[in-house]
Amino acid sequence: MPIRLYQIRESGNCYRVRLMLALLGQTADLIEASPERDGAALGAFREVPVLVDGSLRLRDSQAILVYLARRYGEPHWLPDGAEALARIQQWLSFAANEIQNGPRMARGIVRFGRAGDLEAALRKAERALRLLDLHLAARTWLETGAPTIADVACYPYVSKAGEAGIDMSAYPALARWIGRIETLDGYVPPEAPGSAGRTA
Ligand SMILES: N[C@@H](CCC(=O)N[C@@H](CS)C(=O)NCC(=O)O)C(=O)O
């Protein structure tokens, strides 16, 4: 039974999972989710992404990255060891908090006309991007010296921050890191049709 991913194509949270699948060389049936039709699959949260793999149904893009890395990935994506796990978790939380409330929110308002305080979102976005840029100034990857799920978690909304009108040339280390991710084996851009395999 193939992996199934319930998604909304434009969602960066869903792209995060498509990108991880692609980097791991895994294919999946992509299902454009409709709350009416797919209510049972989406569960009580009624959110995408939802990944179904055999009897497992999993929501939350960060949790899905953890599962995919451990189930299908080389150890470098999520190494063992208390320190590495905790360091990577810092960035999963950063992706779910600072990045969601900054670059994601700002892009949602500017690009998709969502309700929200653009000025506050831009302020948070600039702080998040500055922190990432500082952290990456002397590093190749966010942690451990190899690509991990921390990089995959942070990349989608950061790479699209320019769509909120943010000048990305102010963050040169970040721009180099974005370029490195885009040359990883298996990398797919968000727009790639059926980028994790078939589109159901
Ligand atoms: N923490 C969740 C957030 C998921 C989320 O906010 N999903 C949005 C799409 S990006 C959603 O399904 N919203 C409900 C809707 O659009 O009806 C994750 O990282 O997967």
Is the CB–ligand 1 distance for residue 26 below 6 Å? no
CA neighbor of 5 nearest in space, from 27, 26, 31: 31
pLDDT, one tens digit per residue, over 38-77 is 898 899 999 999 999 999 999 999 999 999 999 999 999 9
CA neighbor of 19 nearest in space, from 163, 189, 162, 140: 189
pLDDT of 199 reads 44
Is the CB–ligand 1 distance for residue 20 below 6 Å? no
Contact assessment for residue 43 and residue 60, using Cβ atoms and an 8 Å cutoff? no
In DSSP terms, 199 is beta-bridged to 30
Mean pLDDT, all residues of the chain:
95
Is the CB–ligand 1 distance for residue 103 below 6 Å? no
How large is the average pLDDT for residues 17-45? 94
Task: Band the pLDDT of 154: cuts 50, 70, 90.
Answer: very high
Nearest CA to ligand 1 atom 20: 60
Q: Is the per-residue pLDDT at 37 higher than 80?
A: yes
pLDDT of 182 reads 98
How large is the average pLDDT for residues 125-153? 98
Task: Band the pLDDT of 126: cuts 50, 70, 90.
Answer: very high
How large is the average pLDDT for residues 112-141? 98
